[in-house]
């Protein structure tokens, strides 16, 4: 515990006004320099809660609580004797007397005053801006107010501003169930970060998510009704937009009023003027850091990373150490509405005589641009849709990369040379821009400070502790440095097994091990033997045993005996758990083809049980809202009608999507529906490291989007082309061509081999797209193994698949005919006839949606389910 000074007249006092992310970093910097032991430290915080992660603010709407977002360790505050006054901001500063008055009336003397008052949302001065239903998007309290209003009084929301926070706000409104609009005055979204091409790619992706974007127009007036509540907006082009909620997110302005009132110098456009030590130019006893400060280079920085640097600089100056802040890198990597967006360096190409290297795929929502100097120097770039290479590219900014520029933006499989890895970066490359941590610092943490894991390096260097975008690169660097130092790196699956998933697969297959406990007792780490395992290895081994069940003699039913205990919540009940504790029912519809009689059955079941129905992008009809005890009754009717499990809950084949093919389409050259049905029925129930998706297109027009799937098939006049390793999710990837002009038999044989080779060698929870890029040799190696049988294992791979096909059994058909298995489908083990009271619904658009009246701040849906069987 650090000793803290007793408050005496001789004890110098530091008063910090504002306790946001930058203010908290300043306190940590003081503590690191021992200043909390020699000074009294007072913090005046305006918000009703201590510092929290404002960068991750929107994650509140995806289940994070204010406590999850908190960045304040109260033990740290108490250990260092920091006096933290929450909800009590400074209202006046007397610089001559060196006193600060708080809203409570308490007055604090100071020797050093640090202003970290941040910024406030800019609200355009339009009529109606203060009407009921108008909000800003800046604090947790703002989010709570938006959430409450959206639940009770709004169905359509409009966000003013298409920048970072504007897009996050629009996504939040959509997540709350509102129809969402974005109004941006600039001609494109995120005009500061991306150029016209990047804005177009971002626009396409966001519109596909169901949000409506209005660019090139401003807000002239907020329309209100007789009671003063929002009814819409009048735009600068004369049009009107109906909306009953408006969220302003049109930028921020420095909060410098306190400084103005006490006579400190501020910039023409706002911001407290400071020198390179972050000391105000008007008073050497007053510092300003973060978004309220106008730095010596004439900028007000609105990013957290420069604020952190300013906090460190101010703390060092107070400690009489040499430090300066002369500017900061404005590079950013964000995930907006699930879309990666990054910009770095001279992203807009303002340097004289520079060149652009651009890769664009509007269908996939990808846009990548590099700005290159005539001498080959990488000056900057923009990445939309796929920012995987951001860390490497940013680190090479200002230097000549050791590979050609196009190789840095072309996707895998598009003819690009091998991508650069983190090991190729120079020691002065910035790995964590939020905390300004260089590669050399990370190497020192491993070699000098003996850190051997990513968490240890994060604690030692602060790298990866803010936005987290560098954690993957951080892990690669730690592993590379340990290996270079001759340290044996533990690549085991978890603390229970020293083997990788691939090695465990081989052990299970070779020794015909049929239970997790047997594998753990015979091959687990010595300290884990005889134990219960962990949440990492249990589902992983469960998946391996299920994949190999027919070959090794294990039960293929995931809820038999010990297998049931290895499954997560979804597999445990053969259904996907939804946010209010209900479940979804997803019957298989191979190829999307369904007879009218079966459509009627689905409609009748949805009507009789009051289920919400939705046609998905995977050619399924999902039914939502079933209580756990209703699942067997619903599935009994579906099985009687000829349906079987769609495995939407499992790490298994989900769907094989198809177009209508040559049967109906005038462009079709093959029967894509028949092939999709054949493939889905062949691979149904195949357990794998991650979910599998497929599609079959009947011609090169590619209506089924086969190249965004784990394995996709496209018809040609001569047969079928097979593509593998695609992903249309959060990190889109075009699939690679494995073979072309295949017959039906050749196609099936190669898919058999590919899938079983993937299941055999992939890591846990690794999609085929990631696996294909990770496996040594990449596509060329996979092609050698699967097509040319370079390892001589193709006969075995085919036999493994044939065993799966021959022994497939529908899980729900087995479940409804076994009273012992049916016993698990209850909400409460000790009261099996009692339905879960949390599962409630309210009407919406002639159907229903979850009603979560019990949820409040600090209580997530999972918390409400505490005590039920699924916990």
pLDDT digits (tens, 9 = 90+) for 219-228: 999 999 999 9
Give residue 850's pLDDT: 80
Q: Tell me how far apart the alpha carbons of residues 270 and 119 are, in angstroms, rounded to a whole number.
A: 10
Cα separations (Å) of 206 from 183, 363, 703? Answer: 13, 13, 20
Task: Specify the 3-state DSSP secondary structure of 583.
Answer: strand
Model pLDDT, residue 467: 67
**What is the pTM assigned to this prediction?**
0.58
CA angle 783/784/788 to nearest 5° reads 105
What CATH number does domain 647-809 carry, 1.10.3470.10, 3.40.50.10890, 3.30.420.280, 3.30.413.10? 3.30.413.10
Cβ proximity of 747 and 722 under 8 Å: yes
Domain with CATH 1.10.10.1100 in the chain: 422-489
Q: List the structure tokens of 117.
A: 């008052």
Give the pLDDT score at 411.
62
Within the chain, which residue ranges are assigned CATH 3.50.50.60? 13-120+254-318, 134-250
Q: Which residues in the chain are classed under CATH 3.30.413.10?
A: 647-809
Between the alpha carbon of residue 154 and those of residues 1, 408, 485, 843, the distances in Å are: 51, 45, 60, 14
The architecture of the domain spanning 329-420 is 2-Layer Sandwich (3.30)
Per CATH, the number for 13-120+254-318 is: 3.50.50.60
Three-class SS state of 211: coil
CATH of segment(s) 134-250: 3.50.50.60
3-state secondary structure of 366: strand
Question: What is the DSSP-derived secondary structure letter of residue 266?
Answer: B
pLDDT value, residue 852: 56
Fold of 422-489: Arc Repressor Mutant, subunit A (1.10.10)
Query: How high is the pLDDT of residue 39?
Result: 95
Q: Which residues of the chain have pLDDT under 50?
A: 1-8, 413-418, 853-871
Tokens standing for residue 80 = 């260092």
CA-to-CA separations, 358 to 194, 368, 406, in angstroms, rounded: 13, 6, 8
């Amino acid at each position: 515990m650090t000793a803290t000074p007793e408050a005496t007249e001789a004890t110098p006092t530091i008063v910090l006004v504002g306790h946001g992310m930058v203010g908290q970093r300043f306190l940590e910097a003081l503590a690191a320099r021992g200043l909390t032991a020699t000074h009294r430290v007072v913090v005046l915080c305006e918000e009703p809660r201590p510092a929290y992660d404002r960068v991750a603010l929107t994650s509140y709407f995806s289940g994070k609580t204010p406590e999850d977002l908190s960045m304040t360790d109260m033990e740290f505050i108490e250990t260092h004797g920091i006096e933290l006054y929450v909800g009590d901001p400074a209202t006046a500063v007397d610089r001559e007397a060196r006193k600060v008055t708080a809203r409570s009336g308490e007055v604090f003397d100071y020797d050093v005053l640090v202003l970290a008052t941040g910024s406030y949302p800019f609200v355009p001065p339009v009529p109606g801006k203060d009407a009921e239903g108008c909000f800003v998007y800046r604090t947790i309290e703002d989010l709570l107010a938006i959430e409450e209003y959206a639940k009770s009084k709004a169905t359509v929301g409009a966000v003013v501003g298409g920048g970072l926070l504007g897009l996050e706000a629009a996504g939040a409104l959509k997540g709350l169930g509102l129809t969402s609009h974005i109004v941006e005055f600039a001609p494109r979204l995120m005009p500061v970060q991306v150029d016209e091409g990047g804005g177009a790619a971002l626009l396409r992706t966001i519109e596909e998510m169901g949000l409506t974007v209005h660019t090139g127009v401003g807000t002239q007036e907020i329309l209100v009704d007789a009671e003063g509540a929002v009814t819409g907006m009048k735009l600068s082009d004369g049009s009107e937009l109906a909306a009953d909620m408006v969220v302003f997110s049109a930028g921020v302005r420095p909060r410098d009023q306190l400084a103005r009132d006490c006579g400190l110098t501020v910039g023409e456009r706002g911001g407290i003027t400071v020198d390179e030590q972050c000391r105000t130019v008007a008073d050497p006893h007053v510092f300003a850091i973060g978004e309220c400060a106008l730095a010596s280079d004439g900028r007000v920085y609105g990013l957290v990373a420069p604020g952190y640097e300013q906090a460190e600089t101010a703390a060092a100056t107070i400690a009489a150490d040499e430090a300066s802040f002369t500017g900061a890198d404005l590079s950013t990597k964000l995930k907006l509405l699930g879309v990666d967006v990054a910009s770095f360096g001279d992203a807009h190409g303002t340097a004289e005589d520079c060149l652009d290297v651009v890769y664009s795929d509007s269908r996939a929502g990808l846009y990548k641009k590099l700005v290159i100097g005539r001498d080959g120097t990488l000056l900057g770039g923009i990445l939309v849709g796929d920012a995987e290479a951001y860390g490497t590219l940013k680190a090479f900014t200002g230097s000549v990369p050791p590979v050609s520029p196009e190789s840095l933006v072309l996707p895998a499989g598009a003819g690009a040379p091998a991508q650069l890895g983190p090991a190729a970066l120079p020691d002065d490359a910035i790995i964590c821009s939020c905390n300004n941590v260089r590669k050399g610092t990370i190497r020192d943490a491993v070699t000098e400070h003996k850190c051997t894991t990513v968490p240890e390096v994060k604690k030692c260097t602060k790298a990866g502790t803010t936005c987290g975008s560098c954690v993957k690169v951080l892990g690669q660097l730690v592993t590379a440095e340990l290996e270079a130092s001759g340290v044996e790196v533990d690549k085991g699956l978890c603390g229970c097994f020293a083997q990788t998933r691939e090695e465990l697969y081989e052990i299970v297959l070779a020794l015909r091990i049929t239970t997790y406990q047997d594998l753990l007792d015979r091959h687990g780490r010595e300290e884990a033997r005889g134990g219960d395992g962990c949440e990492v290895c249990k589902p992983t081994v469960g998946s391996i045993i299920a994949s190999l069940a027919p070959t090794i003699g294990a039960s293929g039913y995931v809820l038999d005996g010990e297998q049931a205990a290895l499954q997560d919540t979804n597999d445990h009940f053969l259904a996907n758990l939804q946010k209010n504790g209900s479940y979804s029912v997803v019957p298989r519809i191979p190829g999307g083809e369904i007879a009218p009689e079966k459509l009627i059955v689905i409609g009748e079941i949805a009507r009789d049980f009051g289920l919400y129905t939705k046609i998905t992008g995977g050619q399924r009809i999902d039914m939502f809202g079933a209580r756990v005890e209703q699942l067997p009754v619903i599935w009994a009717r579906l099985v009687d009608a000829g349906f079987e499990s769609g495995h939407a809950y499992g790490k298994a084949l989900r769907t094989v999507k198809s177009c209508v093919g040559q049967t109906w389409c005038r462009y079709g050259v093959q029967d894509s529906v028949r092939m999709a049905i054949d493939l889905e029925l062949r691979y149904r129930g195949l357990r794998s490291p991650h979910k599998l998706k497929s599609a079959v297109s009947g011609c090169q027009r590619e209506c089924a989007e086969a190249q965004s799937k784990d394995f996709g098939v496209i018809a040609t006049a001569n047969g079928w082309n097979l593509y593998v390793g695609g992903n249309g999710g959060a990190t889109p990837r075009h699939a690679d061509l494995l073979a072309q002009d295949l017959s039906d038999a050749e196609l099936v044989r190669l898919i058999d081999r590919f899938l079983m080779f993937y299941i055999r060698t992939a890591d846990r929870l690794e999609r085929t797209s990631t696996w294909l890029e990770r496996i040594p040799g990449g596509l060329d190696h996979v092609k050698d193994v699967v097509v040319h049988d370079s390892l001589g294992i193709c006969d075995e791979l085919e036999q493994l698949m044939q065993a799966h096909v021959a022994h497939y059994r529908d899980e729900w058909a087995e479940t409804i005919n076994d009273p012992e298995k049916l016993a698990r489908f209850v909400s409460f083990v000790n009261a099996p006839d009692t339905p879960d009271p949390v599962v409630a619904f309210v009407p919406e658009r002639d159907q229903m949606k979850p009603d979560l009246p019990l949820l409040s701040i600090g209580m997530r849906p999972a918390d409400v389910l505490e005590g039920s069987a699924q916990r």
